Structure 1
Amino acid sequence: MPEKTIQHWAESLADSVYALYETANEYRNACRAAQLQATTVDFLRRMTHEGHIGLEGPTAGYGRASTRSPHGQALTVLHRLYGTVESETAGRYEEAALLYASGAAWAVREVQRGERPPVVVFRVDDHGDPAPRALHVPNLDNYAERPALEAAYRAVSLCMDAAQYGEDLADRDYVSDHEAGEMHRALGEAGGLADAAFAYGLLAQRAVSFSLITARRARESELAQAHAAKQTDQPTP
């Protein structure tokens, strides 16, 4: 029976980050699909058919015949259902994107510290769910994509600051007209957090690969030496 190959920590860590990417991308695609589906029942884009149906029974008051617009009712129900799905998937996408971005950033920092984590590790919140870690990736002076990574980090930070500012205003007992305008502007800017975090995650994931170059080369050297030693030990035909 062949021996089971144990995955090297560097490859296992890269797979862990990639799994976070796949998760965020699944929710990203679902969010896009939900947004598109919601537009199909937008009352500003659709014409409701004027046809009605009659209803018998105790549905009308004062002896009047009861009628209903089935198409209009269908659009109303679907608008509510699609809106719920859109909201849910948007929230899931944002959570997954932040886990992806922060998980990749954590992996880079751990490797820089000389650690060898086989997987990305998150703390859990009060509900037992993984909580995002810090997003910053320091000490990449020799990394060619450092400027793009730093720009993406600033974009995420601006969205997070806007979200905090908007939520602080929303929690106040009284909000002036000017503050109300600022609140809506901030929350609108914060709406781009998921996409910003996902974009940052893509760059941070490439930084993970960069940080693992030395470990992977060392592993390749070990395997080559082990293979050479095995060949030397083979009996001469």
Structure 2
Amino acid sequence: MPEKKIQHWTGSLADSVYALYETANEYRTAHRAAEVAATTVDFVRRMTHEGRISIEGPTTAFGRASTRSPHGQALTVLHRLYGTVESETAGRYEEAALLYASGAAWAVRAVLDGKKPPVVAFRVDDHGDPAPHSMDIPGLDTWVDGPALDAAYNTLQRCMQAAEYGEHLADQDYVSDHEAGEMHHALDQARGLADAAFAYGLLAQRAVSFSLITARRARESELAQAHAAKQPDQPTP
């Protein structure tokens, strides 16, 4: 049986971050599809066919046969189903995007601190699920994409703060008219949280590659030296 090749920590760490990207992107794609599906049965935009069917047995209060609209009933059922899927995928996408963004940020900080983590590590919450890390990535002032990373970070922070504030107001026993307006504004802004986290994650993932350059070059040098050491001495002409 051939010997299994052990992956260098720089490769496995990059793969770990990429797996977080793939996960977030899967939910992102699923949520987009659910949104499109929901629009196909939107009663505001969709005409319901007027044709009806008769149901034998039960009658109305006037003794007439009971009828119903099969097309309208189908749209009602699908509207409920698609709405459930849209809501579920939205939550999953947001969770995965936050893990992706914070996991990539964690990886960059770890490498810049001189650590060699083989994979991204998360703590767990009270439910045993991975909990996001902090999002900040200091020490990349000289990186060409540093300004874009900072801008994406600021956008993400605004969305996270809006979500926290909106949820805080929603949990209150009493909300004034002014606070209700602020709550709805905050929750509207918070709806962009998943996309903001995903966008930040894309830049943070590129920052992972940037932070690994030195370690990868050192690894390439080690491999080259090891290969040269295995070569037989060449005779002097």
- TM-score of the two chains, using structure 2 as the length reference: 0.96
- CA distance in 1 between counterparts of 2:59 and 2:126 reads 48
Alignment of 1:84-95 (within 5 A): 84-95=84-95
Aligned counterpart, 1:228: 228
Alignment of 1:180-219 (within 5 A): 180-219=180-219
- CA distance in 1 between counterparts of 2:233 and 2:109 reads 41
Deviation of the 1:3 alpha carbon:
2.8
Q: Once the two structures are superposed, what CA deviation does each residue of 1:112-146 show, in whole Å capped at 9, x if it has no partner?
A: 11110000000011111111111000111221111
Q: CA 1:145–1:59 in 2, change beyond 3 Å: closer, same or farther?
A: farther
Deviation of the 1:61 alpha carbon:
4.0
Is the CA contact (8 Å cut-off) linking 2:101 and 2:135 kept in structure 1?
yes
- CA distance in 1 between counterparts of 2:142 and 2:232 reads 40
Q: What is the aligned residue count?
A: 235
What SS does the corresponding residue of 1:228 show, helix, strand or coil? helix
* Aligned: 1:83 with 2:83: yes
- CA distance in 2 between counterparts of 1:208 and 1:124 reads 23
Is the CA contact (8 Å cut-off) linking 2:152 and 2:196 kept in structure 1?
yes
- CA distance in 2 between counterparts of 1:233 and 1:138 reads 48
Q: Unpaired runs of 5+ in structure 1?
A: none
Aligned counterpart, 1:71: 71
Instruction: Output the amino acid matched with 1:198.
Output: F
Q: CA 1:220–1:180 in 2, change beyond 3 Å: closer, same or farther?
A: same
* Aligned: 1:178 with 2:152: no
Aligned counterpart, 1:147: 147
Deviation of the 1:62 alpha carbon:
5.0
Aligned counterpart, 1:5: 5
- CA distance in 1 between counterparts of 2:15 and 2:146 reads 22
Alignment of 1:30-49 (within 5 A): 30-49=30-49
What SS does the corresponding residue of 1:57 show, helix, strand or coil? strand
Q: CA 1:129–1:233 in 2, change beyond 3 Å: closer, same or farther?
A: farther
Q: Unpaired runs of 5+ in structure 2?
A: none
Q: Once the two structures are superposed, what CA deviation does each residue of 1:155-184 show, in whole Å capped at 9, x if it has no partner?
A: 000001001111111111221222111111
- CA distance in 1 between counterparts of 2:130 and 2:147 reads 29
Instruction: Output the amino acid matched with 1:160.
Output: M
Aligned counterpart, 2:52: 52
- CA distance in 1 between counterparts of 2:203 and 2:59 reads 60
- CA distance in 2 between counterparts of 1:97 and 1:234 reads 55
Instruction: Output the amino acid matched with 1:31.
Output: H
- CA distance in 2 between counterparts of 1:195 and 1:7 reads 32
Instruction: Output the amino acid matched with 1:3.
Output: E
Is the CA contact (8 Å cut-off) linking 2:17 and 2:103 kept in structure 1?
yes
What SS does the corresponding residue of 1:58 show, helix, strand or coil? strand
Q: CA 1:28–1:59 in 2, change beyond 3 Å: closer, same or farther?
A: farther
Deviation of the 1:14 alpha carbon:
0.2
* Aligned: 1:157 with 2:157: yes
- TM-score of the two chains, using structure 1 as the length reference: 0.96
Provide the alpha-carbon RMSD of the alignment: 1.4
- CA distance in 2 between counterparts of 1:21 and 1:92 reads 13
